[in-house]
Chain A
């Protein structure tokens, strides 16, 4: 089965604290995973993809095949990071399979 699980619907942390948004997947084969972000009242946009191994806005995500995870991390949260975050997996038919999303709130 192809599935993406984001166990936390809501995550609230203080500014300056580390952030970890969890994403677990189910997929047989080599997965390709993405994080999309939606800031308040804005369109959903790609944040990063695992094949790029990049850091965007201080966020990184490492694919852990052993734990079938692709958690999104940032060492020091900023208020502007408050947003909705979606983890997505490229499925066998090349379309994206989406997690339920995690709402991140950064408290001042």
Chain B
């Protein structure tokens, strides 16, 4: 298994543009998490899904952020419109059950100019 796959690995965009980050969890894992990592705030949980259903999105910063999981093997995190303060590394993680070890993707490094 290739592990959790994220794309793109790097994204540079201009303020106001739409950004879509993608994640493919490990096959068989029924939980998927989106995190944001910054120097100032460390690792923040944005949203997580169980069996493709969003369970807790209280960490989503504002309405500009949205996440979907149309099927068990794919999730997206969208920022529209993007702002410079959204610049961060966004991680996706999956786990085979509640409270099990989380397996992280390589992250997407986003820079909004």
Seen from chain A, the residues whose Cβ lies within 8 Å of a Cβ on chain B are: 32, 34, 42-46, 49, 86, 90, 93-96, 98-101
**Chain B residues within 8 Å of A, Cβ to Cβ:** 3-4, 33, 41-45, 48, 56, 91, 93, 98-99, 101-107
| Number of CB contacts from chain A to chain B under 8 A | 44
Assembly CA distance A42 to B89 (angstroms):
12
Kindly identify which residue among B4, B98, B106, B107 contacts A94, using a CB–CB cutoff of 8 Å.
B98
* Residues of B close to A99: CB separation below 8 A: 42
B41 & A43 in contact (Cβ 8 Å cutoff) = no
Nearest Cβ on chain A to B113's Cβ, whole angstroms: 21
For residue A98, which residues in chain B have a CB less than 8 angstroms away from its CB?
42-45
By CB atoms of chain A within 10 A, which of B42, B44, B45, B48 has the most? B42
Q: Which residue of A lies closest to B91 (CB)?
A: A44
Residues on the A chain within 8 Å of B4, using CB: 43
